[in-house]
Amino acid sequence: MSGDPVKHLAASPSNERINLSAPHMTSRERDALLAAFDSNWIAPAGPALREFEDQLRQISEREAAIAVNSGTAALHLALLALDIGPGDIVICPSVTFVASANVIGYVGATPHFVDCDRETGNVSPEALAQALADLTAIGHRPAAVMTVDLYGSCADYSSIVPICERFGVPIVEDAAEAIGASHQGRPAGSFGVLSAYSFNGNKLITTGGGGALVGPQDLIDRAAYLAGQAREPELHFEHREIGYAYRLSNLSAALGCAQLERLDAMITRTRSIHQRYVDELSSIDGVQIAPQDVFGRGNGWLTVAHINTDLHPTPTAICHSLLEDNIEARPAWKPMHLQPLYTGSACTGTKGSEQHFQSGLCLPSGSSMNASAQSRVIAALRNALNASATTTSTIVVDDATIDIAEAIDVRSGQSPLHLEHRAPTR
pLDDT tens per residue, range 335-347: 999 999 999 999 9
Q: For 141-164, what is the mean pLDDT?
A: 98
Which band of pLDDT confidence, cut at 50, 70 and 90, is reported for residue 392? very low
The answer to whether 263 touches 282, Cβ cutoff 8 Å, is no
3-state secondary structure the chain: CCCCCCHHHCCCCCCCCECCCCCCCCHHHHHHHHHHHHHCCCCCCCHHHHHHHHHHHHHHCCCEEEEECCHHHHHHHHHHHCCCCCCCEEEEECCCCHHHHHHHHHCCCEEEEECECCCCCCECHHHHHHHHHHHHHCCCCCCEEEEECHHHCCCCHHHHHHHHHHHCCCEEEECCCCCCCEECCEECCCCCCEEEEECCCCCCCCCCCCEEEEECHHHHHHHHHHHECCECCCCCCCECCCCCECECCHHHHHHHHHHHHCHHHHHHHHHHHHHHHHHHHCCCCCEEECCCCCCCECCCCCEEEEECCCCCCCHHHHHHHHHCCCECCEECCCCHHHCHHHCCCCEECCHHHHHHHHHEEEECCCCCCCHHHHHHHHHHHHHHHHCCCCCCCEEEECCEEEEHHHHCECCCCECCCCCCCCCCCC
pLDDT of residue 406: 35
pLDDT for 43 equals 80
Whether the Cβ atoms of residue 330 and residue 303 lie closer than 8 Å to each other: no
Q: Is 406 exposed, middle or buried (0-12, 13-18, 19+ CB in 10 A)?
A: exposed
**Which pLDDT belongs to residue 332?**
97
Residue 415 pLDDT exceeds 90:
no
* Position 166 pLDDT exceeds 80: yes
pLDDT confidence bin for 13, thresholds 50/70/90: low
Q: In terms of pLDDT, which residue wins out, 68 or 11? A: 68
pLDDT tens-digit readout, 270-302 = 999 999 999 999 999 999 999 999 999 999 999
Average pLDDT over residues 188-205: 97
Residue 424's pLDDT is 53
Residues 261 and 425: their CA atoms lie apart, in Å, by 34
407 pLDDT more than 90: no
Residue 389 has pLDDT above 80, yes or no: no
CB distance 9 to 214 below 8 Å? no
- pLDDT computed for residue 146 by the predictor: 98
Say what the pLDDT of residue 387 is. 82
Query: What's the whole-number mean pLDDT along residues 164-184?
Result: 98
pLDDT at 179: 98
pLDDT digits 0-9 by tens, 229-255: 999 999 899 999 999 999 999 999 999
Banded model confidence at residue 15, pLDDT cuts 50, 70, 90: confident
- Predicted confidence (pLDDT) at residue 65 exceeds the cutoff of 60: yes
Percentage above 90 pLDDT, the chain: 86
Structural domains present in the chain: 27-261 (3.40.640.10), 264-407 (3.90.1150.10)
pLDDT band at 44 (very low <50, low <70, confident <90, very high): confident
End-to-end, the C-alpha distance of the chain in Å comes to 37
Those residues with Cβ within 8 angstroms of residue 395's Cβ, 6 or more apart along the chain or in another chain: 320, 323, 324, 401, 402, 404
Q: Kindly tell me if the per-residue pLDDT of 390 is higher than 80.
A: no
Position 47 pLDDT exceeds 80: yes
Q: How far apart are CA 322 and CA 380, in angstroms?
A: 6
Q: Is the pLDDT of residue 365 over 90?
A: yes
